[in-house]
Structure 1
Amino acid sequence: MKANFFHPHKKINTEAASRSQLVNTYRSLNHWNGFQFKLFWEGIVVGIFSGLVVSLFRFLLSRAEEFRIGLYGYLSQLPAVYTAGWFAALLAVGGVLYWLTRHEPMAGGSGIPQVKGVILGLMRMNWFRILWVKLTAGVIGLGAGLSLGREGPSIQLGAVTAQGVSRFLGRTRMEERYLITSGASAGLAAAFNAPLAGVMFSLEELHRNFSAVVLLPAMTAAMTSTFVSRLFFGGGLTFSFRSIPRFPLDLHIVYAILIAVIAGLCGVIFNAGLLNIHRFYSLPVFKNLYMKITFALLCAGVLGFVLPQVLGGGNRLVDELATKSFPLQLLFALLAGKFIFTLISYGTGVPGGFFLPMLVLGALVGSICAYFLTAFQLILPSHGANIIIIAMAAFFSASVRAPITGTVLISEMTGSFYHLMILGMASAIAYIVAQLCGSQPIYEALLLKSLNSHSTPEPNTVRKERNIVEVPVSSGSLIENKRVQDIPWPGHTLLVDVKRGSEQLIPDANTVIMAGDFLYVLTETEHAEDVQALGSDLKD
C-alpha cells in the first residue's frame, strides 16, 4: 500500500501561492478601471480560441452525423450480416466511451453543472484533459447516434479553453472565474450562431450576476467567437424555418398561454425524468458503466432502422416539423421516442448535453398542439410554426428556469425577432408553472446531485480554499441599508471592498450597504454560497 507522507515544503509553497493570489486580487480591486479594461481584451482572446475549438467540434460532429445517416441508408440495402457487424462495432465504441468517461469524469454529461460548480468555487477542472476528452467522446457519442446535444459540450469546451488562457497568463482565481464565464458564453454563441443568447445564458444561468465586470468580457467573447464560427460555417440559422408569420394578438393570445402551460408541464416531466433516470440504471442487469453505455448504443442501433429521426441532437427534425405535415400518430411516436431515448442517453454519463434534445421535445409538443388547433380550425395552418417556437421557448424556460435566455435563444435560432413579446410571455408563464409544480432548475439540481455524490475532486481541499466572492446587493435584500457590523456574516469572512457606481469604498464597521452595491468578500469556498445569498435573500 502506498504511504501518505506530510510534505512541509509543499504546504509552504501552497500557502505562498495563496498569498500571492490574494495580493494580486487586491491589486485588481484597487485598480478597477484598468482591471475592467484588461478583461475586455482578455474576452476577445478567449472568444478567438473558444470559437476555434467549438468550430472544430461542430465540423467533426457534422461529418460524424453525415456518416451515420449514410451508413444506415447503406446498411438497409445490404444483407443482415453487415448489420450484425455494425452492432459489433457499437460494442467497441462503447468500450472507447467507457474508457474516456472513466479517464476524466468531469467531462461527463453536458458539462454545464460542472462549469457552474467551478464558477462557484466548488469544483476543479483539469482544463486540457477535459478539452480533449470532451471533444473526442462528444464526437464519438453523438456520431454513434446517442440523443445528446452539442451545446453543453460546447459551453464546457469554451469554459476550459478560457481556463487554459487564464492559466497561461497566470491570472487570479477571481479573474479566472470571470474568464470561465466568458468562455462559456463564447461556447454557446459559437455552437448556435447566437451571441446574445450566449451572453444571457452565462449571466442568467451560470454567474447569476449582471455586473459590468462580468458582462463586458462575456459580450466580447461571445461576439468574437460568433465571428470566428461564421468564418467557417457562414451566418446560417440553426433552425431553417422558411417564414414565420406574425402571431395575431387577439384571441390567439389565449392559445399561446395554453401552449405555454402545456409545454411548461412537459418541461417539469422532462426534469423529473433526467433526475430519476439513475433509478433505471440501478437495475441489477446494469452491473457496470460499460453495460449502461452499450445498452444506449444498441438502442441507437435499433432506432437507426426503426425511428432514425430521434438519433443525435435533432435539429434536422425541427426543420422538418416547421416545413412538413406529420401524421398525429408519428408525432406522438417521435415525442415518446425522443423523450425516452434522451433519458437513456444522458443517463449513461457520457459527454453530451440535453440542451438541443430539450428544444426538439419542445418543438414536438408544439407540433402536436398545432395539429389539434389546426384540426379544430382555431388557427390557420401557416401559424403552426408560431406554436412550435412558443412551445420551444416555454419548454426551455420551465426546465432551465432562464426565461430571458430562452426568449433570446429561440429568436436568434429561428431568425425571427417579431415574436419577442409573445415568446417572453410564454417563457414567463412556463417559469411560473414550473415554480408551482415545485420543479428545480435542472442545472442547479444536477450540480447539487453531483456534489452530494462526492464525485468532485478533492472536495475538502476545494472547500477550504480562500476566494474573493463578488456579491451584488439586490433591492429588498437581507443586508440592504444595514451596517457592516450588523450583517450576519458566516465565519472566516472579511469584507474587503465595496463598489458603488463609479465609487470605490473602503468599508469599515459603520459602512451602510445599499441596493446596487457590489461587495467583494474574502471567504472560504464552503461559505461562498452563503455569502452570495446575503445579497439576494429577501427581508422577512
Structure 2
Amino acid sequence: MKDALKVQVHGSYKMSQIKTITSGIVVGILAGTAVSMFRWAIQHMMAVMKGLYTGILAHPVDALIAIVINLAIGLFVGWLLHQQPDIKGSGIPQVEGQLLGEIDYRWWSVLWRKFIGGILAIGSGLYLGREGPSIQLGSTLGQGVAHFTKQVGFDRQVLISSGAAAGLSAAFNAPIASTLFGLEEIYHNFSTNIWVISLTSAVTSDMVATYVFGLKPVLYMKSNPMPLQYFYWVVILGIILGILGRFYQMVILRVSAWYQKIGRLPWYLDGVIPLLIVIPLGMFFPRLLGGGSDIIVHLNAAGYSTIVLCGFFLIRFIFSMISYGSGLPGGIFLPILCLGGLIGAIVGSLAIAIGWVSPEYFSSFVIMGMAGYFAAISKAPFTAILLITEMVGTLTHLLGLAVVALVAYGVLDALNGKPVYYAMLQQLLQNTKANDLGRTVQITKPVFAGSQIDGKLVRQINWPAGSLLTKIVRNGIEIVPSGQTPLRWGDTLYINVSTKNQHRITETLTRLTSES
C-alpha cells in the first residue's frame, strides 16, 4: 500500500512538472513574439526620429514637423494613460503589486495600450528603457494564458511571474538573469515550480528574440578583465556607485511629485514636456537618445575626454528623470545601466589619465559600472552580475562584477536605501483605492533556515489576523496543515490573506518566514 502511494505521489508530481514546463513554453513563445515586435518597432521608429532631429540643422522646417509629431504622440499616449493608468511608467511596480495581490487589472486592456504607448514614447527618443514595459507585456500575456486556461490563485501568479521573466529575456537576450530577476526582485520566491516555469519561459522567449535579432549580445564590447593588482579601483568605483545610486533613488522617487507642483497640465499629459525637450537634445546629441545602449557600446572606441563624459552623465541623468517622471510608458532599467557605464567610464578615464591604470582596462570600468549601479539601485546584486555577464557576452569579468556589486550594495544599504521598484510600488499603492474588505487573495511564502517559524508547530506561531495557512508543499508533496504540523526550512506555505491591510499582513508573514 505504501509503495503504491509513493508511485501515485511521484506520478502526480511528474505530471505537474510536465504541465509546468508546457505552460512555460507557451508563455515564452507569446512573450518572445510580442516583445520582439516591440523591440523591432522601437528600433525603427528611433532611427526615423533620430534622422528627423538631426536634419533640423540643415532643414529648419523639420523642427515644425518634429514638434507636431511629438505633440501628437504626447496627446495620444496621454489619452491611453487616462483610459488605463496601469500602463504608466515602467510597469515593474505594477507587476510586483499584482503578484502581492494588491493590484489587479484586465490583461488585454493593459497589453495593447502598453505596447503602442511604449513604442511611441521610447521610439521618440526619450531616455526610457524597453525592459520595464517588456516585463509588463510578458506578465499580461501570462495573465492572459491563465484567463483562457481558467487558472486562479497561485497557478495564476506563477504564469504572471513567468511571463515577466520571459519579457525581460526577450528585451535583453539574457534568460538566466531574467529568471533570477523574476525570483529575486519581482516574485521573491525560489520554489521549484516557480523557477522551473520562469526558466522555461525565459529560455523559450530568448530563442524567439534570438531568431529575430541574432546571437550578438545586446551590449557586446571588446574588453580585458581587470587584474587583481588594480582591484582597489574596483572598491573605489563600488563606493562611488553606491553613493550616486542612493542619490538616484532619492531623485527618481520625488520627480513625480515635482511634476505635480510645477505643472499645470493634467497628469496624463505631462509627457508633452519631455517630448518637446527631446527635440533639441536629438539635434545636438543624437547618440544619447533612447535607453542608452548606443552610447554604452561606443564608449570604448569613441575616446571621449573626462569632461565630455561628465557632461553626458549630467544630460542623461537629468533628462532620464524628466522622461520617467512624466509617467509615459517606459522603464529605468537600461537608463540605469547607461548611467552606471558612464560613471565607470569617468572613473576609468581619471585612473588612466593619472597613469595608475593601463588604457586597455577602460572597458572593464564601463562594464563594472553598469553592474554596480544596477546592483545598488535595485538591491539585486545576483541579477546585476548575471545580467551584465549575459549582455556583454563574456565570463571573464565575474570576479570584478561580484566585488563592485557587493561594495555598491553595501554602501547603499548603509545609506538606508531600499530596492527602487519596491519603493515605487509603495508610492503606487498610496494612490490606489482601498480594496474590498471581504476579499481574500492567496500568497506563497518560502520558509528560510533560521527563520522565526523554522522548526515550530503551526499552533505555536502567532499568525497575523486576516491570514489563514491552507497548504504546505514539502519536497513536491502537498500537506494539509493542522495545529500539530511542524514547519521546516524549504517548505512553501500557501496562505490566504484578507485584502484589508494586506500589505501589513504580508510584511508580517515575510518577517516570520525570512532569515532572522
TM-score over 0.5 (shorter chain): yes
| 2:231 matched residue in structure 1 | 253
1:497 aligns with 2:471: yes
Specify the code of the residue in structure 1 equivalent to 2:165.
S
When normalised by structure 2's length, the TM-score is 0.94
Q: Secondary structure at the match of 2:493?
A: strand
1:434 equivalent to 2:412? Answer: yes
Q: Deviations over 1:346-377 (max 9, x none)?
A: 00111100110110000110110011000011
CA distance in 2, matches of 1:38, 1:466: 26
Counterpart selection for 2:108 from 105, 121, 128:
128
Q: Give deviations 1:387-423, integer Å, cap 9, x for gaps.
A: 1111110000110010000000000000011111221
Quick check: 1:125–1:160 contact (8 Å CA) kept in 2? no
Which residue pairs with 1:94 in the alignment? 74
The within-5 A match list for 1:76-91 is 76-78=57-59, 80-91=60-71
**Residues 260 and 429 in structure 1, CA contact (< 8 A), matched pair in contact too:** yes
Aligned twin of 2:4 = none
- 8 A Cα contact 2:166 2:178, kept in partner: yes
Number of residues paired by the alignment? 505
Q: Does the 8 A contact of 1:195 with 1:223 survive in 2?
A: yes
Q: Which residue of 1 aligns with 2:252?
A: 274
Asked if 1:190 is matched to 2:165, the reply is no
Q: Residues 279 and 498 of structure 1: is their aligned pair in 2 closer, same or farther, counting only changes over 3 Å?
A: closer
Q: Distance in 2 between matches of 1:284 and 1:343?
A: 15
Q: 1:488 is matched with which residue? A: 462
- Which residue does the alignment assign to 2:328? 350
Q: Deviations over 1:497-524 (max 9, x none)?
A: 2222254433221222122222222332
Q: CA RMSD in A?
A: 1.9
Letter of the 1:247 partner, please give it: M
1:91 Cα deviation (Å)? Answer: 1.8
Q: Give the letter for the 1:298 counterpart.
A: L
- Which residue is equivalent to 2:441? 467
Partner in structure 2 of residue 5 of structure 1? none
- The one-letter amino acid paired with 1:299 is I
Structure 2 residue runs of 5 or longer lacking an equivalent are 1-8
Cα distance in 2 for residues equivalent to 1:226 and 1:500: 31
TM-superposed deviation, 1:308: 2.6
Instruction: Give the 3-state SS of the residue equivalent to 1:509 in structure 2.
Output: coil
- Is 1:409 aligned to 2:387, yes or no? yes
Contact 1:309 1:334 in 2 (8 A): no
2:451 alignment partner, one of 477, 481, 487: 477
SS in 1 for 2:271: helix
Instruction: Supply the distance in 1 between the matched residues of 2:158 and 2:102 (Cα, whole angstroms).
Output: 15
Q: 1:73 to 1:302 in 2, by over 3 A?
A: closer
1:212-231 correspondence runs (5 A): 212-231=192-211
Alpha-carbon offset, residue 240 of structure 1: 2.9
Counterpart amino acid of residue 364 in structure 1: L
In the alignment, which of 202, 220, 229 is matched to residue 182 of structure 2? 202
CA distance in 2, matches of 1:169, 1:200: 26
Letter in 2 for 1:401: K
Contact 2:97-2:103 within 8 A present in 1 as well: yes
In the alignment, residue 248 of structure 1 is paired with which amino acid? Answer: P
What is the one-letter code of the residue matched to 2:112? Answer: W
Query: Aligned letter for 1:425?
Result: V
Q: Distance in 2 between matches of 1:499 and 1:162?
A: 23
Contact persistence 1:142–1:312 (CA under 8 A): yes
Deviates more, 1:445-454 or 1:263-272: 263-272
Equivalent residue number for residue 294 of structure 1: 272
Superposed CA deviations along residues 306-356 of structure 1, whole A, max 9, x for unmatched, are 333332111010011122210222111110000000000000111100110
2:47 is matched with 66
Structure 2 Cα separation of the partners of residues 115 and 278 of structure 1: 19
Residue 480 (structure 1) shift: 1.4
> How far, CA to CA, are the matches of 1:436 and 1:490 in structure 2?
30
**Cα separation, 1, equivalents of 2:100 and 2:413:** 24
- In the alignment, the residues of structure 1 paired with residue 161 and residue 411 of structure 2 have an alpha-carbon distance, to the nearest angstrom, of 29
User: Matches of 1:69 and 1:48 in 2, distance apart?
Assistant: 31
1:144-168 deviations in whole A, cap 9, x for unaligned? 1211000000000000011111101
CA contact (8 A) 1:469 1:532 kept: no
Give the secondary structure class of the aligned counterpart of 1:480: coil
* TM score, norm. by length of structure 1: 0.90
CA distance in 2 between partners of 1:62 and 1:104 (Å): 25
Deviation at 1:533, TM superposition (A): 1.0
Which of residues 369, 388, 393 is equivalent to 2:371?
393
2: CA distance, partners of 1:383 / 1:267: 23
Moved more, 121-130 or 107-116: 121-130
Q: Secondary structure at the match of 1:283?
A: helix
C-alpha distance in structure 2 between counterparts of 1:468 and 1:460, whole Å: 15
Tell me what 2:6 maps to.
Answer: none
The residue number in structure 2 matching 1:36 is: 17
Q: Give the stretch that moved more between structures: 307-316 or 503-512.
A: 503-512
State the Cα distance separating 1:191 from its structure 2 match: 0.5
Moved over 4 A (4+): 30-33
8 Å CA contact 1:183–1:218 kept in 2: the answer is: yes
TM-aligned CA deviation for residue 54 of structure 1? 0.3
Q: Comparing 119-128 with 108-117, which one deviates more in the overlay?
A: 119-128
Aligned-partner Cα distance in 2 for 1:537–1:450: 25
Identity of aligned residues (%): 34
CA distance in 2, matches of 1:349, 1:123: 18
Aligned counterparts of 2:507 and 2:417: Cα–Cα separation in 1: 22
The equivalent position to 1:142 in structure 2, one of 117, 122, 134, is 122
Structure 1, 415-424 or 192-201: larger mean CA deviation:
415-424
Change (3 A) 1:81 1:264: same
DSSP-derived class of the 2:55 partner:
helix
**Paired residues of 2:238 and 2:408 also in contact (CA < 8 A):** yes
User: What is the distance in 1 between the residues matched to 2:478 and 2:108?
Assistant: 37
Match of 1:378 among 356, 375, 388: 356
**Partner Cα distance (2:210, 2:114) in 1:** 22
